[in-house]
Amino acid sequence: MNVRFLTMLVIVTSLSLIAFRGKVVSTIQTGNLRTELLVNPIGIDASAPRFSWEVTGEQRGIVQQAYQILVASSAADLAAGKADLWNSGKVNSDRSIHVPYAGNPLQSRTEAYWKVKVWTNKGEGAYSSPAKFTVGLMNENDWQAKWTGLDKYFPWDTITKMSRLSARYFRKEFAAPKEVKKATAYISGLGIYELYINGNKIGDQVLAPGPTDYSKTVKYNTFDVTNHVKQGKNAIATTLGNGRFYTMRQQYKPHKWHNFGYPKMLLQLEVEYKDGSKQTVVSDDTWKVTADGPIRTNNEYDGEEYDATKEFPGWNKVGFNDSKWLKAELVEAPGGNVEAQMNENMKVMQILKPVSIKEPSKGVYILDLGQNIAGWIKMNVKGKRGQKVKLRFAESLKPDGQLYMDNLRDALVTDIYTLKGEGVETWAPRFVYHGFRYVEITGYPGKPKAEDFVGEVVYDDMKTIGSFETSDRTINQVYKNAYWGILDNYKGMPVDCPQRDERQPWLGDRFMGAYGESFIFDNSKMYAKWLDDIQESQTPEGSIPDVAPNFWFYYKDGVTWPGTYLKVAEMVYNQFGDVESVRKHYSPMKKWLNYMQDKYMKNYIVTKDSYGDWCVPPEAPHLIHAKDSSRITDPKLLSTATYYHMLQVMKKFANLLGKQEDIKEYDALMANIKSTFNKTYFDSEKKQYGNNTVTANILPLAFNMIPEGASDAVFKNIVDKIMVDNNGHISTGVIGTQWLMRWLTYNGRGDIAYKLASNRTYPSWGYMAGNGATTIWELWNGNTANPRMNSQNHVMLLGDLIVWYYENLGGIKAAEPAFKKVEMKPAMIDGLSYAKASYHSLHGMVKSDWKKNGKTFTWNITVPGNTTAEVYIPAASAEQVTENGKKATAVEGVKFLRMEGDRAVFEVGSGQYQFAGKQ
């Protein structure tokens, strides 16, 4: 039978070792098959890239049965069906994500075009339209370029505790004697760079490349610059800023800071002509350089000073007179392996218009963006040559309307622009970012207006893949605040805050946070890169730092912060199906566990902890940390319970990788730890752990460490502690909050979780929102505590809140990795009348939109193609459930599985469904 499927959609969603998802740039209709093409991965550093695609359509229950991938070295060959690189043949499989390349070896600079065809239970599809990828410079001998720079400072620079170093400008002219067929630029500009060809900025990235421990790894970016290189004379130029390479604080706590030296670059421009000949332009000592340009200083903590009177028009174009510039120098390489950057660069992702501008004192103006952001201000200004406009940034205001600066420590957070006096001048900094809502403007010619400014929001160029809304206004506001706090702190790595003199990639902040974030953003590539950062920061003995890359030398050897290494690997596997990251990092993760066991485990108790249950709500409004011992959980209890959970995670990984001997080892150690842990910390009479804090009890509950028959009593202690001792408010810090919301719900008290989520009194997330927060605070009492540690843009206190939003309120949870199977089980909570959530998984879009009215429950869901879902519908029996007005038990493709408590559980395939149930 000839089966036509008119609406089947195959979406090519990803390629490369870690680049799971691309960006849609066009939609093409080809016969009965529609394919959405992606931004082409360029310069990938992978000999065996992986291919993914989505299959969906209007039919229900679509299941892929086979696929065929064709990869060719030219678009013409691919169109003709000539797969000279790889023809997978017809493979009988339902696998549609991370299919590894298995063709002819891919060489540096290879261009490859690919397409996929699928067979499903609904019929055979046509081939998709093609997508393209290119391979970067994978071998050291591919690089002819030399590390180039200028290892000196200038009279206007200062090399002190508060170092200030001007930007370096490099240029070179070259001739392209023939008609250009193709031109590709490879660049690593450290700390951060801008690249120009014939006056045109290349790419829309900012603050690139991504930060690393440059002594271990250096990232380069690749650009197709064919349209910028022309026959005849050309100019190529770069500007280098300091970034994380030239340390922002010199001679300042030298035991703490990692310093790499002066800015430098590695640049290679490869030109191929239409006659087949080639030319390579490289960074070396034939370039010219100056630091006497308009960017007089650039420092992530302190700001950027730009003097437009020092501009040199045409400096990045042909014909500029650079006779007074210095000769560039060959400099020492930074030491790290040069690798293609596989995670997204940062860019300006959103533009915000100010909501107001006020003048609290004469000549001092305060601009309000209405939202705490990370980025900068872009300004229009007109005035006389030499006039200076100063911009200072802060998250909040003092009662008198002036900036509140105390919580920024010694970060100066000041941009200064000196006018050139030539009409309307538009300026934004290039090599810094600020965390702020408010901007103090002084020195502005005339009276500034709000329309003279916009806020440019900067974070990693990753796609927003989740949405969430409920009937509760507090939950919705907290979700919005979390969304902004998360994106503000994506800076090529997850940092703790964007505003003060810190901005470090603390591991502990993301132990559970990365999991929640993955429902909102496609953070898969950034977190896969961060796993590499963590591994590269591991000592030969096995110690994992608290900050990675280790820009700060913090090796305190706890469990709860370094354990994030394992939890992030678990997240990218569960959420995105990334087995390779687990495989890659398994050995160093095991090495860390062995190190901690050998050095700190005494009689199966882990004796080392660094931070305790960090930031529990303190007993007094001015305190940063609680001093009341009844609020503080035993650090050894925390570290031992968490170590036990790390073994659970490693057992899961060992099973995935087929390491049976390791599983036996983990089981034996877990049994001994559990027995000793309970003998040491469990009070069998009171049915409590330690001093009965919520954290002390919820960790063994979440990790299944409680003796048989005692779980209900332990959980009752948790409930009593929250509802009686703490009057229905949160009492956990960073560690306990990672498990709190879900385990309350799993144990039948979703109502308590809802109360904690919807509270607006102290301490709560709603209290932050009610007191003007537009992001998440570092402290529950961030508006009253000592300003030394009250960042107003942190994410660590979110714990498992975002996971709870999606999995337990929205009802979207991965039952199998990458949502190959979806569990849809929303909690029914009095006071919440609806919730709707969506999540674009690697297999496709999942949607859940439920409402309840009395005992009637209605639920619209969408299940992606090539997946199945178990849906838990509130109903007294399966007969009480309808689908699109018909009895669900009689609808084709809707399979009743069982009753589970007050839920009727059905299995469905892909498609859209409308369920209704009655209790």
Q: What positions carry a catalytic annotation?
A: 502, 778
655: nearest Cα among 726, 579, 729, 725: 579
Amino acid at 347: K
Dist CA 39 CA 18 (whole Å): 15
Structural contact between residues 334 and 190, judged by C-beta atoms closer than 8 angstroms:
yes
Assigned token pair, 128: 């998709």
Please, what is the end-to-end C-alpha distance for the chain in angstroms? 45
Structural contact between residues 116 and 153, judged by C-beta atoms closer than 8 angstroms:
no
Cβ within 8 Å of residue 918, ≥6 positions away: 855, 856, 857, 875, 876, 880
Examine residue 831 and say whether the peptide bond preceding it is cis (omega within 30 degrees of 0): no
Assigned token pair, 767: 């209290």
Please spell the DSSP secondary structure of 514-547, one letter per residue: HHHHTTTB--HHHHHHHHHHHHHT--TT----SB
* Burial of residue 886, with CB atoms counted within 10 A of its CB: 0-12 exposed, 13-18 middle, 19 or more buried: exposed
735: nearest Cα among 624, 600, 590, 634: 634
Dist CA 103 CA 47 (whole Å): 10
Dist CA 906 CA 898 (whole Å): 7
Give the CA count within 13 Å in the CB-facing half-sphere of 443. 14
Please spell the DSSP secondary structure of 354-386, one letter per residue: -SEEEEEETTEEEEEEEEEEEEEEEEEE---TT
SS3 string, 701-763, reads: HHCCCCCCCCHHHHHHHHHHHHHHHCCCCCCCCHHHHCCHHHHHHHCCCHHHHHHHHHCCCCC
Assigned token pair, 44: 């990938």
Dist CA 182 CA 280 (whole Å): 12
In 3-state terms, the chain is what percent helix, strand and coil (to 5)? 25, 35, 45
Which strands make up the sheet holding 882-883, listed edge to edge?
Answer: 466-470, 834-841, 844-853, 856-863, 911-918, 882-883, 886-887
Rounded to 5°, the CA angle 31-33-35 comes to 120
Structural contact between residues 272 and 134, judged by C-beta atoms closer than 8 angstroms:
no
Across the strands, what pairs with 606? 601
Within 10 A of 326 (CB to CB), how many other CB atoms are there?
15
Assigned token pair, 520: 């909102």
> Strand 337-340 to strand 217-224: parallel, antiparallel, or no bridges (unpaired)?
parallel
